[in-house]
Amino acid sequence: MTATVTVTGAAGQIGYALLFRIASGAMLGEVPVRLRLLEVPQAVGAAEGTAMELADAAFPLLESVDVFDDADAAFEGAQLALLVGARPRTAGMERADLLTANAGIFGPQGRAINDHASDDVRVLVVGNPANTNALIAAAHAPDVPAERFTAMTRLDHNRGLAQLATRLDVGVDRLSRMTIWGNHSSTQVPDPSQLLLDGEPIALDDAWVAEEFVPTVVNRGAAIIAARGASSAASAASAAIDHMRDWVEDTAPGDWVSAALPSRGEYGVPEGLVCSFPVTGADGAWRVVEGLELPPAVRAGLAATVVELEAERDAVRALGLLPQ
């Protein structure tokens, strides 16, 4: 069986890191892949260049690469869709402008997925503001179950694991059960309160968690931009691979990861908001890990990040960008 994978923003910096890993089998294992790349017309030439390089890498699993500037064509038959292309915030842009510009991208792409993708399509939104872009895309795809639209908080999750591994001087593979709650923004809530080391609970210093761990994870995206002069790309691509692989192939037994999914009311998060939760992947579906006892600081943080998600949703709705 061959998998059809559509990637938007294919000529961008995440796209450049992501496509070669998908083609190498890092995302789906030994499954042949057909890549369908979507770009804006002015970047189609650059995407064609990347397609030439993909051919030159002679990946045994890469069956074909096609480049499109039309969403309907790009999502034709897509089983996995990675929505990376987005409109970045530029100088002088208000929040409403940013939401409007991105709704102009994610609304039509949601509709194209609805009309052209495979029945089993799974969507990961990477382009920011990722949670609300996923909400917009899902709202324009009434025939696709809403839970197939997810947004990426796996990079924040991986950042958290890396900080914890350094602090504890252990490999990341010995740690499990960390969570990112909420929005992929500065209101996200990194939560190591359930952390296990080699499957056993491990107590962390509360002051270190509050004063160092949480701010480091929350501000890591901005720190990368300050250091690199560009936002994270290879680590974002790697997180996208992790998200899709765990969705398709299941998460490790006894562990969970973080992903933003449309809420079904878990932990009091209003239904429909695309919110990051602790999740397990099994049988091709994400399940929110329920029943965790949240420390007061995490509960307060979750309430605040939900307020931000509601404000984004309400702004999009007020601008008439969600179908009635």
The site that binds ligand NAD (CB under 6 A) totals a number of residues, namely 27
End-to-end CA distance of the chain: 38
Does residue 258 contact residue 278 with C-beta atoms inside 8 Å?
yes
- For residue 105, state whether it binds ligand NAD (rule: CB under 6 A): yes
What minimum distance in Å lies between the beta carbon of 254 and ligand NAD?
Answer: 25
- For residue 81, state whether it binds ligand NAD (rule: CB under 6 A): no
- For residue 231, state whether it binds ligand NAD (rule: CB under 6 A): yes
Residues with a known catalytic role: 184
Residue in 5, 23, 75, 85 binding ligand NAD, rule: CB under 6 A: 85
Residue in 50, 232, 251, 258 binding ligand LMR, rule: CB under 6 A: 232
Alpha carbons 65 and 53: distance in angstroms, whole number: 11
Residue in 7, 43, 155, 257 binding ligand LMR, rule: CB under 6 A: 155
Phi then psi for residue 182, to 5 deg, are: 95, -135
- For residue 14, state whether it binds ligand NAD (rule: CB under 6 A): yes
- For residue 127, state whether it binds ligand NAD (rule: CB under 6 A): yes
Alpha carbons 256 and 277: distance in angstroms, whole number: 10
- For residue 107, state whether it binds ligand NAD (rule: CB under 6 A): no
Strands (E), the chain: 3-8, 33-38, 62-68, 80-83, 122-125, 149-151, 175-176, 179-181, 189-191, 196-197, 200-201, 257-262, 274-282, 285-288
Residue in 11, 82, 224, 259 binding ligand LMR, rule: CB under 6 A: 224
Residue in 132, 232, 238, 258 binding ligand NAD, rule: CB under 6 A: 232
Q: Which is nearer to ligand NAD, 220 or 313 (CB)?
A: 220
- Antiparallel, parallel or unpaired: β 33-38 and 3-8: parallel
Q: Is 45 annotated as a binding residue?
A: no
- 148 three-class SS: helix
Q: Map tokens 């929505």 to a residue.
A: 83
- For residue 100, state whether it binds ligand NAD (rule: CB under 6 A): no
What minimum distance in Å lies between the beta carbon of 137 and ligand NAD?
Answer: 12
- 6 three-class SS: strand
Q: Which is nearer to ligand NAD, 81 or 298 (CB)?
A: 81
Closest C-alpha among 41, 290, 299, 9 to residue 126: 9
By CB under 6 A, name the binding residues for ligand NAD: 8-9, 11-15, 38-40, 43, 84-86, 88, 105, 126-128, 130, 152, 155, 184, 231-233, 236
Instruction: Note the residues at the interface with ligand LMR (CB under 6 A).
Output: 128, 155, 221, 224, 231-232
